[in-house]
Amino acid sequence: MNANEFDVIIIGGGITGAGTQRDCAMRGLRTLLIERSDIATGATGRNHGLLHSGARYAVNDPESAQECIRENMILRRIASHCIDETDGLFITLPEDDLAYQQTFVDACRNAGISAEIIDPDLARRMEPSVNPDLIGAVKVPDGSVDPFRLCAANMLDAKMHGGQVRLHTEVTGFIKEGDTIKGVHTRNRQTGEEVDYYAPVTVNACGIWGQHIAEMAGVKVGMFPAKGALLIFAHRVNNLVINRCRKPSNADILVPGDTVCIIGTTSTRIPFEECDTVAVTPDEVTLLITEGAKLAPSLSSTRILRAYAGVRPLVSADDDPTGRNISRGIVCLDHETRDGLKGFITITGGKLMTYRLMAEIATDAVCRKLGVEKACQTADIPLPGSEEQSYEAVAQKIWESPTTAQKAAAARMGTRAARIRTGDKRDDALICECEEVSVGEIKAAIDRLEVSTLTDLRRRTRVGMGTCQGEFCACRAAGLLVKAHGCVERERADLEDFLQERWKGNFPIGWGDTLREAEYTQWVYKLVLGL
């Protein structure tokens, strides 16, 4: 069989695509994943990183709520190194209707979500950053999830099951024979190399961009792009997720993640053409800060690290071209039955939280087409790195008396952190001091996780995600990438791209310490280093 032939081609390196590739690969299929940029660059990496308990949807969308709590419990088992089991609070503020609390709790319980009304005093003790004026609180099993890590772990597992991955490669067209999709034309965006790949089934897992891919294949999938803006604060102000106990609205979720916390989100319809260039507006920043301070008042004086926005892949129902009836649920379209186009499936809608279920549904559809009968195992077999439940235990096993940097590495890599213990002191040297990322961890990422740029590296290791936003670590890491890839010219451009990408998220909130840091970065790179 030709090296460019596979059982299934998956387009899209977000969490849905990576999850689908893992599932397909675990069921014995020969898989290829194609992504035009890097993993987790779309909605996957541009949300709260909230491990929903489902409580947010319990009142209005019980079906989503049930999906969430089921997947929540599964992810705790299979993706422990990507998950922080924080729990969450739904708080009622004086201006909210306390009567809603009972409706909320009843709906949660009906959906199978444990929801416990607690005394406001206890809530203040459990979460000292919470607005002290709260008049009601409900505790639910929310948590946080690192979408980059989750996506990388799925991709890695797919590779360990024989899957192949082509990042920075875009699909330029489909190979069609009659009414059947036989494969794709692709072009590597870094090298310009054009390659055709063949498979009896192709899965469109491109989120909001799935509309474009479907169009290219000759079918119509109506997406309704809804932009959501979020802010990252430089400190982990809260340890529990804090939500407002009311009908879901703007900026009413504060999620702690790693060393930071994230407030969001807004929801604005945007034209499809703007999906690639979404930016956060000053009005959105103001709204997020004002509403965020209602959840945790200290946010109003906490340094903001970045502003960013993503586009939700909402799908309009087939019989509703106006888009009024928009579903937030999972949508799996078999274009053979829907449009008479064979060998093509679209999986979209859904949430980061339900990616595994989406992948299972898509893989079931793929297997049906291929006549493969093999059960899904993704709910039972842990992702690589998640074989142990606690990162402290992992670090202890590897290092005996681990340093904070080693613990941080174990938290990021899970059991895979064993790979970076080389006994060579030089591998312990820190490249990123904010996030404590060592030479060894960066080498391991370059080695196994398909890194071609600094931004790719950031998504896999947190290099440059800390308070200095890459000021020092970017050029240190660039040195390591030159060593790995051997091209200085490319790395120079890459370094510029990385700084530009950091600045994009900094200038919308460019005041106070953020501006200080930005001025310093400008000085260092322009006047001192001479980029």
Name the site residues for another protein (rule: CB under 8 A): 282, 285-286, 403, 405, 425-426, 428-431, 433, 438-439, 472, 475-476, 478-480, 482-483, 488-489, 491-492, 496, 499-500, 502-504, 507, 510-512, 515-516, 518-520, 522-524, 526-531
| Closest distance to another protein from the beta carbon of 482 (Å) | 4
- Which CB sits closer to another protein, 373 or 489? 489
The DSSP secondary structure of 461-502, one letter per residue, reads: H-TT-STTTTTTHHHHHHHHHHHHH--HHHHHHHHHHHHHHH
Residue 363 near residue 23, CB atoms below 8 Å: yes
* Closer residue to another protein, CB minimum distance, 180 or 522: 522
CB of residue 419 to another protein, shortest distance in Å: 17
Here the tokens at position 500 are: 């530009």
Helices (H), ranges, 296-403: 335-339, 355-370, 391-399
3-state secondary structure of 39: coil
Cα separations in angstroms, 97 against 85, 314, 321, 335, 395: 29, 29, 36, 46, 46
**Nearest distance from C-beta of residue 440 to another protein, angstroms:** 10
Cα(160)–Cα(25) distance, rounded to whole angstroms? 9
What single letter denotes the amino acid at residue 375? A
CB of 167 to another protein, least distance (A): 24
**Least distance CB 364 / another protein (angstroms):** 44
By beta-carbon proximity to another protein, the closer residue of 135 and 482 is 482
Q: How many CA atoms lie within 13 A of 430 on its CB side?
A: 15
Could you tell me if 73 and 201 are in contact, meaning their C-beta atoms sit under 8 angstroms apart? Answer: no
Q: Return the ∠ at Cα 130 (arms to 125 and 132), rounded to 5°.
A: 80
Which of 438, 455 has the CB closer to another protein?
A: 438
CA distance 297 to 163: 47
Least spacing, CB of residue 146 vs another protein, in Å: 23
CB nearer another protein, residue 67 or residue 441: 441
* The two three-digit tokens of residue 140, written as one number: 């639910």
**Residue 325 or residue 500: which is nearer to another protein going by CB?**
500
At 210, list the tokens.
């799935």
Residue 274 C-beta: closest distance to another protein, Å: 15
191/404 with CB nearer another protein = 404
Check whether the bond before 265 is cis (ω within 30° of 0). Answer: yes
Q: Return the C-alpha torsion angle 316, 361, 4, 172, nearest 10.
A: 10
Amino acid at the residue 96: D
CB of 531 to another protein, least distance (A): 6
Cβ distance to another protein smaller for residue 375 or 527 = 527
